[in-house]
Amino acid sequence: MSLAARNLTLGYGGQPILRDLDLNLPQGQVTAIIGRNGCGKSTLLRGLGGLTRAQAGQVLLDGDDIATLRPKAIAQRMTLLPQSPIAPEGIRVAELVARGRTPWLRPFRPPGPEDRAAVTRAMEAAAVTDLRDARVSDLSGGQRQRVWIAMALAQETGWLLLDEPTTFLDLRHQLDLLKLLRALNRQDGRSVVMVLHDISLAARFADHVVAMRDGLVLAQGTPQSVIADEILRQVFGLETKVIADPLHGAPLVLPL
Amino acid sequence: MRRAPVIAALLLVFLAALCLGRNLVTIRDLWEVLHQGPEAKAWFLVWELRLPRLLTAIGAGAAFGIAGAISQSLFRNPLAAPEMMGVTAGASLGAVAVLLAGANGFAVASGAVGGAVAAPVLLLALAGRQPEVSRLILTGIGISLTASAMTGLLLSRASDTVAGDAMLWLTGSLNGRHWQHARLIWAVLPVLLLVAALIARPLDRMEMGDDLAQSLGIPVHLTRPVLVLLIAALIAAGVAVVGPVGFVGLMAGPIARRLANGAGPDLIGAAMIGALIMLLADLMVTLSAPYALLPAGVFTGLMGAPWLIWLLWRGDIERKTA
């Protein structure tokens, strides 16, 4: 299971947002895409997930150009959770999580035992089993985000792509969510790719960091190699002093 | 949805509509019709007059109900109706144009079908290859208004008799519906129901937004035009037999959804509620004016408008747009 971009050019008609981008996403790891607002990181994620069509170049999923795959075939191998998904009015947690099974369902057939088992597993993994009968609209922001993660997990794909999963969460829930995602990655080897706003959180939770600016990948590699003074200056235009976090050893960014 | 009460209500209203009217038919008469066939004394009344009219009502109501429920999901708005896509206005324009040309009966129905199908084809052509929901709505409203204005223009040029006929047709009516109408709607309805059943799950997922639906494996950009054309076909089928009876689609979807007490569209429920509303309207027509039959469209409108106000009162619109 590999995911890569080759000479990828993406845009929404007119001027491309990403041009000629080459990227290999490490399998079985947590990758964070960082960069300033409008640098094209969400566009890259949408392109990787097949939501935005390549104007040129390719996205290769296990060597297959995703432009040649049907949406259902992509969805059986890769899950993309958009930034602020809309829950249908009145839906309950278990129902929403069950929608993650969509790419595995056959027309005219109700979900089978393997689908129900996948939903149960996903709710346990995301710690929302106790909420199964609650209405999604009644949940707090942190709970709701865990429910969306559970839906994404129920899809049972090797790749999990998340667009800013921590937005609108307070710090504690941001940490809880990232810990959850890393635990899922460590337990069953799912590859996680997420767009993150916060460099410190990316430094602490990612195995691989992709730093973008103006539609280009400026640097990629381990957090230690990417989250460094010179690269941060180029990516964010920030003067910083990066030190080793005394507790976890991850890079810790001190803005100057 | 708990279907049992709705099915019971359907049967009850169906039976009532068979029996009540200017001439009362008893249960015993119905029994005779079933067993003796054309020998029975109520045969003509039941078999030739009321049964085909009620079967037409059920078929058209189901078609309108499903078309409404699909529109509401497609536009992600509880108050959406096929009218917003110009389908109904197109059908009306087609029918009125044929009426003015001096034709009648089947030709008028054909004109309606032509208009109902032309409007969404035009809509899809104008809205672009991958239309956003808002663009679809605005283009649809544009087409609808244009078609209505052209209908008005045609009517202003018509003689009083023809204009009267046209106005009657435009309200929608079940009067004088015979086996040919019932056969027509029931010939196409099963095919459309099959397509609707196939499209129900993608439709449900598309309520969560295009991105999420697509990442769940739904081919959103292929599905949307299919949905638009399915709505058009359902409306065309219904309008061809009863005229543009209003408000059924608007009411059936939200009622079914409410009764289902779950998330997502309930197309079968909407079909049943649509049929129930048409039957009720027909029953009201017979009960209120046994000597001068009012068109059923008057009663669906009389029930539809208060329902619309009730929905507004319940704050659904605020919740949806918030």
pLDDT at A95: 93
Q: What confidence tier does B249 reach under pLDDT thresholds 50, 70, 90?
A: confident
pLDDT given for residue B316 in this prediction: 57
Judged by CB atoms closer than 8 Å, whether chains meet at B209 and A155 is answered as: no
A80 to chain B, closest Cα gap in Å: 6
Q: What count of other Cβ atoms lies within 10 Å of the Cβ of residue B293?
A: 17
Decide if A105 and B214 are in contact by the 8 Å CB cutoff: no
Number of separate domains in chain B: 1
- Average pLDDT over every residue of B129-142: 82
For residue A20, which of A10, A12, A9 has the smallest C-alpha distance?
A9
Question: Which is nearest to A89 in space by CA: B322, B306, B67?
Answer: B322
* pLDDT score of A182 more than 80: yes
Q: Helix H segments across chain B?
A: 3-19, 27-36, 43, 51-74, 87-100, 106-126, 133-157, 160-171, 179-206, 210-215, 220-242, 248-260, 267-288, 296-313, 316-321
- pLDDT band at residue B322, thresholds of 50, 70 and 90? very low
Work out the minimum CA distance from B62 to partner chain A, whole angstroms: 20
Q: Closest by alpha carbon to B275, among B312, B300, B311, B301?
A: B300
* pLDDT(B266) > 70: yes
| A198 vs B315 pLDDT, higher one | A198
Rg (CA), chain B: 20
Does B219 contact A50 at a Cβ distance shorter than 8 Å?
no
The answer to whether B217 contacts A79, with C-beta atoms less than 8 Å apart, is no
Place of tokens 């046994």: B290
Q: In this prediction, what percent of chain B has a pLDDT beyond 90? A: 36
CATH number at residue B76: 1.10.3470.10
DSSP string for residues in B38-86: GGSTTHIIIIIIIHHHHHHHHHHHHHHHHHHHHHHHHTT-TT--GGGGT
Q: Please enumerate residues of B whose Cβ is less than 8 A from a Cβ of A.
A: 197-198, 201, 204-205, 207-209, 211-212, 214-220, 261-264, 319-320
Identify the pLDDT of residue A27. 93
Q: Chain B residues with CB inside 8 Å of A95's CB? A: 262-263
- Chain B hits for A75, CB-CB cut-off 8 Å, are 215-217
Contacts of B31 (CB under 8 A, 6+ apart): none
Considering only the beta carbons, identify the residue of B197, B198, B215 that sits closest to A75. Answer: B215
pLDDT at A1 over 70: no
| Nearest CA distance, A95 vs chain B (angstrom) | 8
Encode pLDDT of B45-97 as tens digits. Answer: 888 888 999 999 999 999 999 999 999 998 888 778 888 888 889 999 999 99
Tell which residue, B100, B97, B125, has the closest CA to residue B111: B97
In A, what residues contact B, Cβ < 8 A? 46, 49-51, 70-76, 79-82, 85-92, 95-96, 99-100, 102-103, 105, 107-108, 155
| Average pLDDT of the segment spanning B208-218 | 93
Q: Is the pLDDT of residue A172 over 50?
A: yes
pLDDT at B284 (0 to 100): 85
Q: Which domain holds residue B132?
A: 3-321
* Helix (H) / strand (E) containing A118: helix A113-125
Mean pLDDT of B14-36: 85
Q: What percent of chain A has pLDDT over 90?
A: 62
Here the ipTM equals 0.90
Binary contact (A79, B197; C-beta < 8 A): no
Tell me the chain B residues in contact with residue A88 when contact means C-beta distances shorter than 8 Å.
204, 207-208, 263-264
Interchain proximity B215–A92, CB inside 8 Å = no
Tokens of A200: 């410190």
Residues 6+ apart with CB under 8 A from A229: A240, A241, A242
- From the number of C-beta atoms within 10 Å of its C-beta (0-12, 13-18, 19+), residue A83 rates as middle
- Encode pLDDT of A76-121 as tens digits: 999 999 988 888 888 999 999 999 999 999 988 889 999 999 999 9
Sign of CA dihedral B129, B135, B137, B141: negative
The per-residue pLDDT for A6 is 93
Instruction: Taking residues A143-164, report their average pLDDT.
Output: 94
Residues of chain A contacting residue B253, judged by C-beta atoms under 8 Å apart: none
Q: Please check the confidence at residue B317 and state whether its pLDDT lies above 70.
A: no
* Residues in B touching A108 (Cβ below 8 Å): 197-198
Q: Which residues of A touch B198 (CB under 8 A)?
A: 107-108
Cβ within 8 Å, pair B209-A86: yes
pLDDT at A97: 96
Chain B residue closest in CA terms to A153: B216
Cβ neighbours of A76 in B, within 8 Å: 217
Residues of chain B found within 8 Å of residue A89, distances taken between Cβ atoms: 263, 319-320
Question: Is B99 or B21 the better-scoring residue by pLDDT?
Answer: B99
- The pLDDT-based confidence of B36 (bands split at 50, 70, 90) is confident
**Taking CB atoms and an 8 Å limit, are B216 and A103 in contact across chains?**
yes
Work out the percent of chain B whose per-residue pLDDT is above 70.
Answer: 92
Round to whole Å and give the CA distance between A107 and B216.
14
- CB-count exposure of residue B310 (10 Å: 0-12, 13-18, 19+): exposed
pLDDT at residue number B231? 93
Q: How many CB pairs under 8 A join A and B?
A: 77
Question: How confident is the prediction for chain B on average, in pLDDT?
Answer: 85
For the record, the structure tokens of B21 come out as: 């009217």
Who among B209, B212, B319 is closest to A89 (CB)? B319
